[in-house]
Amino acid sequence: MTPLVEMRDIALSFGGVKAIDHVSVDLYPGEVVGLLGHNGAGKSTLVKCLSGAYRMDSGQILIDGQPVTINNPRDARAHNIETIYQTLALADNLDAASNLFLGRELVSPSGFVDDDRMEAETRRIMARLNPNFRKFNVPVSALSGGQRQSVAIARAVYFNAKILIMDEPTAALGPHETRMVGELIAELKRQNLGIFLISHDIHDVMDLCDRVSVMKNGKLVGTERVGDVTEDEILGMIILGKKS
């Protein structure tokens, strides 16, 4: 079976600092791969090469076995790669619909932005993801952390993503909302999406992921099946930077 995504030998430096030092990871359809590591380990930087936010210095990205070039976020979106950023990347002054469709606005036949249709679509997907969501006509700055998160998630799922990158999706959420994100991930898995999940929380990762890749100082420490290792072993990899 060909992997959905293969990132081979990726390297990226920022002014002499090796942020990613020849890392290879892969992801299969219907699989969740957790990326673990301390702050500054390079997890976010690695997936930003996939989402087009950064351009890698060297290495190769294959999607469905085909080499692809991803120079910017548009390229990534064209390959059905969607990202939920840790910062959520929402324009606070715009409403939920404008954020959901940002960069991919629905337009009327005359070429004008069709806000009504975008709002209708937003209402439709929100009814599924967060049925309590009501604030469609206010800027997202007026929303709670969980509501903002659901807008960011809706944006990633709406456009039929095949590959989903979630960077700390539950960092700003309460227990109830965290559980909802967990259920969503399980559902997306059933729909055969591949998901990279970045998290600090080792419990989250053990619960939600099939495999984990651990990084330290820009290097890949190792990739393990979740069933084959204990939490302590993973913790050891994170802290010591080697397999015990």
Partner 1 sequence: MTDTTSGDSSKTSLARALQLDTRLLGMIGAFVAICLVFHLLTGQRFLTPRNIFNLTIQTASVAIMATGMVFVIVTRHIDLSVGSLLAVCSAVMALVQVWVMPQLLGLGIGHPVTAPLAILAGLVVGTAIGAFNGWLVGYLSIPAFIVTLGGLLVWRNVAWYLTSGQTLGPLDPNFQLFGGINGTIGVAASWVVGALAVAASLWFMWSARQKKAGHGFTVKPLWAEAVMMGIVAALILGFVAILNAYQVPVARLERIFAARGDTLPEGYTEGYGLPISVLVLIAIVVAMTVVARRTRFGRYVFATGGNPEAAALSGINTRLLTVKIFALMGALCALSAVVASARAANHANDIGTLDELRVIAAAVIGGTALSGGVGTIYGAILGALIMQSLQSGMAMVGVESPFQNIVVGSVLVLAVFIDILYRKRSGALK
Q: Which residues bind partner 1 (CB under 8 A)?
A: 51-53, 72-74, 77, 83, 85, 87-94, 98, 102-105, 107, 111-113, 116-117, 119-120, 135, 138-139, 141-142
DSSP 95-141: BHHHHHTTTS--B-TTS-B-HHHHHHHHHHHHHHH-TT----SSBGG
Q: CB 122 → partner 1: shortest distance, Å?
A: 11
Q: CB 72 → partner 1: shortest distance, Å?
A: 7
Strands 58-63 and 66-68: antiparallel
Q: Residue 39 or residue 87: which is nearer to partner 1 going by CB? A: 87
**Residues paired with residue 20 on neighbouring β-strands, in sequence order:** 12
The answer to whether residues 11 and 57 touch, using CB atoms and an 8 Å cutoff, is yes
Question: How far does Cα 151 stand from its chain's mean position?
Answer: 14
Q: CB 71 → partner 1: shortest distance, Å?
A: 11
Q: CB 233 → partner 1: shortest distance, Å?
A: 35
